[in-house]
Structure 1
Amino acid sequence: MSMDATSRLTRLRARFSLLDANGDGQLQADDFDLLADRVLNAVKADPAKAHALREGCRAYWQGLAADTDRDGDRVVTFEEYAAAIPDAVHFDQYGSPYAHALAAVADPDDDGEVERADFVACMTAIGFAPPQVAQLFAELAGDNDRVATRDWAAAIRDYYVSASADIPGQLLAPRSA
């Protein structure tokens, strides 16, 4: 397996684990509600942004279930998930509302930028490890003390669809022992 294939599989397992918010080894609609709840408990969001995040999570689940739930039981196993790895077109339709809503929730003043504390709060609420979150913030922020919401949403997209190991979101993948 190539390094890109290995890193993609590592990300695939990590993504599945993060989306499996209740940790039962399968994806269901409740996992995406729980994911939204965790983020919204970590940051103060106005009602419209909270609603957009909840709807983004639900849309993500609905698209994922439609494309990966092969037996129609409204449960997605890792095997189903891995067999139907969503592509960029799928993510743009179903995952993008989630990515943009997540970045917007972390931007309370609507200036198009996310401060470190809000970025860290959201990413750790999702389940990412603080050291990797800090590295990703530094990568996306560069010399600034904030991350542009559009850059964060683009990094989320890349994490979910890129086959390359040379992306900022790769910093979030678990490290090999």
Structure 2
Amino acid sequence: MSALLDQKYAKLFFLLDSDGDGVIAEDDFELMAERVVIAFGEQDTARGEEYAQRMARYGRALRAAADTDGDGRIDEGEFGRALLRVSDDFDTLVGPLYEAGFSLADRDGDGLVDKRDFGTFMVAVGVPEDAAGAAFDALADQGGRLSRAALMAAAAEYYRGAGPSATSGHLLFGAL
């Protein structure tokens, strides 16, 4: 694995370890989903429930790919090794999670997200507000809106890309 992918995967591990206990487990996905749903005021709504379900599906898929010792928890080593495999199946395993987040942030359903809603989502998952703003600025179109396609391309680049670290996809969760 390249040094850049190591850095990106370490940052992603830190974000997914929502409770900060050094491992990723089912409760981390529940906690992150709860934070995001609350940030958008979608508790007890179909949109909030759909996001939580997609987060849980991603957690199960990741655990199936990564939990090599079968203890129900994913340590950072297991995570890094598995993410290479999971990234190959980005469209089916990882992409739906980003689609769900985008759908929640796209409050009016027009296929575009503004900086405020993007920031709300990113801060809820643990990205510092300034890093979320910088990521949005790098990804948004000239009108100051982020399309679903731009987000999905950036997310795929984050998981797969080992090229130059200054591209917008590599900066999705903040500077490395």
Using the alignment, how far apart are the partners of 2:54 and 2:88 within structure 1? 16
Q: 1:116, CA displacement in angstroms?
A: 1.1
Instruction: Considering Cα pairs closer than 8 Å and 6+ residues apart, tell me whether 1 or 2 has the greater RCO.
Output: 1
Moved more, 134-143 or 14-23: 134-143
TM-score, length-scaled by structure 2: 0.89
What residue in structure 2 maps to residue 67 of structure 1?
A: 65
What's 1:124 paired with?
Answer: 123
Name the CA distance, whole Å, in 1 between partners of 2:51 and 2:84: 20
Q: Distance in 2 between matches of 1:173 and 1:34?
A: 18
Counterparts of residues 17-166 of structure 1 (less than 5 Å): 17-45=14-42, 47-87=45-85, 88-164=87-163, 165-166=165-166
The aligned length equals: 173
Give aligned-pair identity as a percent. 31
Q: Secondary structure at the match of 1:86?
A: helix
Q: Structure 2 CA distance, aligned partners of 1:175 and 1:150?
A: 22
Distance in 1 (alpha carbons) for counterparts of 2:37 and 2:121:
8
**Structure 2 unmatched runs, 5+:** none
Q: Calculate the aligned-residue CA RMSD, in Å.
A: 2.0
- Separation in 2, partners of 1:146, 1:133: 14
SS in 2 for 1:26: coil
Shift of residue 52 of structure 1? 2.1
Q: Which moved more, 1:49-58 or 1:86-95?
A: 86-95
Query: 1:71 is aligned with what amino acid?
Result: D
Deviation, structure 1 residue 166: 4.9
